Structure 1
């Protein structure tokens, strides 16, 4: 089902904001979807060749970040010392393009970049509970219990990545 014509490229953080807002938190102010660490992250967008290059249809942001020891504290002082870890955040696909494999392709691209270019061996996220099955189908496992952030239930998901993972993707 994946649209094989999808092009994935690095983008500026500013180019992630409209999709972050409209898909993840449309009821909040636009500023709510900006992160303090955005300027330190790696941002990627998926595009169709037939569309303008300033409007991604799917976006994700990647940050080098250790896995916190607890679900409720994301501060660096509470992080496990895992030097090869990265966290992806603000993963969103425009509703018109969901269920076509575009998000999967973008996530796999991030796994590959994280391992090959950044030396990451563990990748993680705080996933909305409603998305657990989607992440599990992509090889991620849950760790810890369910916790709440901003009124929604989340669970930490993670995946070990290695050369074989990257080869399977490519």
Structure 2
């Protein structure tokens, strides 16, 4: 059974639980908060009125960066994160960005390539997790 997904802006504090659960559950909650969170645009995907995916968008001039993209584990692989990322690509473009980038976990590189993001530079690590910067023109 598929259910309707609704995407809308959310308050930054609404993103914290999912960020923590999905991205860095072994760290304290403060670890997933960003110094510039208040300057960002935060979006959530809701299924049956429950928040199941979050992403945060930051605009600097004509360059946009998305961060802290997290989908509840039991909702992954169902296209929900894809819908949310497509929404954020449109939002970035609508807000005047000409370029979009993220620091992606290397394990998710193929997912981001499907959105025309390409690797830039070398892999780097946060703790033991390999990352790669990925970017595209809008």
Query: What count of residue pairs does the alignment treat as equivalent?
Result: 138
How far did 1:137 drift? 1.4
Instruction: Say whether 1:140 aligns with 2:135.
Output: no
- If the length of structure 1 is used for normalisation, what is the TM-score? 0.77
Normalized against structure 2, the TM-score is what? Answer: 0.95
| 1:166 equivalent in structure 2 | none
Residue of 59, 79, 89 corresponding to 1:111: 89
Structure having the larger proportion of residues in strand:
2
Corresponding residue SS for 1:56: strand
| Alignment match, 2:51 | 56
- Give RMSD over aligned pairs: 1.5
Equivalence for 1:77 = none
Residue deviations 1:124-152, cap 9 Å, x none?
00001111111111211111111112332
Tell me what 2:19 maps to: 20
State the 4+ residue runs in structure 1 displaced beyond 2 angstroms.
none
Structure 2 unmatched runs, 5+? none
> In the alignment, which residue of structure 1 is the partner of 2:6?
7
Aligned to 1:43: 42
> Aligned residue for 1:75?
none
Which ranges of structure 1 fall in alignment gaps of 5 or more residues?
A: 66-82, 162-170
The aligned residue for residue 120 of structure 1 is 97
Match of 1:160 in 2: 137
1:93 corresponds to:
71
Shift of 1:4: 6.6
Deviation at 1:38, TM superposition (A): 0.3
CA distance in structure 1 between the aligned counterparts of 2:89 and 2:3, rounded to whole angstroms: 18
- Provide the C-alpha distance between the structure 1 equivalents of 2:13 and 2:137, rounded to a whole number of angstroms: 30
Larger Rg: 1
